[in-house]
Amino acid sequence: MTDQEKNRRFIAKKIASWFHAGDVVNLGVGVPVLVADYIEDGVTIQSENGLLGVGETYDGLNPEAPYFNAAGFSTHLEKGASVFDICTSFGMIRKGRIKCTVLGCFEVSEYGDLANWARPGSYPGMGGAMDLVTGIKDVIVATDHCTKSGKPKIVKECTLPLTGKGCVDWIVTEMAVFKVSNTDGLTLMSHRVGVNVDMIREKTGAPFKVSPELRLM
């Protein structure tokens, strides 16, 4: 497993620890799908392509698997799971029936603007992202702190097409956890062992406050 893969697993485990039995959670493409591998019993995962009760993903693509999550990965279903059409799925999302969505990003701004669907040379399509960030109250971004070239993904202002404005509540990276306010900006809530505030400032493209209750992730 590469360092990047280990970091992404670290992010997924951290986010998974926030959920409890009875929660219904939507997981987006990228790092978020890994959260399913660490969810505790009683937490239900919804996939916007029409699944409720998504389990762990298979190791690689399984051509015999009958079910796939929104990221296109073969997946198990939990006992009691439901399969339904996409209209019903988005009805759940638009009616606010889902507690939280965990999404990846290309950029996220200091005031919670999210860009996660298009970048130069890559236009995969909007998918369900716009519905997710407007229909679900709590939005968590799970992302590498920087791009492969070392550029911050947390920025003062997004330069890529927006998915939503002021919609992100939390950002979780391999370095830190930020609380996001669309009026007050970023607050550093916790950081990883071996990482300090100065290191985080160096790799973050936006200013942030430090919580007086700053703790380790």
Burial (CB count within 10 angstroms: exposed 0-12, middle 13-18, buried 19+), residue 59: exposed
Q: Which residues pair with 91 in a beta bridge?
A: none
C-beta atoms surrounding 63 within 10 Å? 5
**Which is the catalytic residue, given 48, 107, 110, 174?**
48
Residue 48 annotated to the active site: yes
**Alpha-carbon separation of residue 116 from 2, 41, 102, 106 (angstroms):** 24, 30, 12, 5
Q: Which residues pair with 186 in a beta bridge?
A: 180, 208
Cα-Cα-Cα-Cα dihedral sign, residues 141, 144, 75, 123: positive
What residues act catalytically? Answer: 48
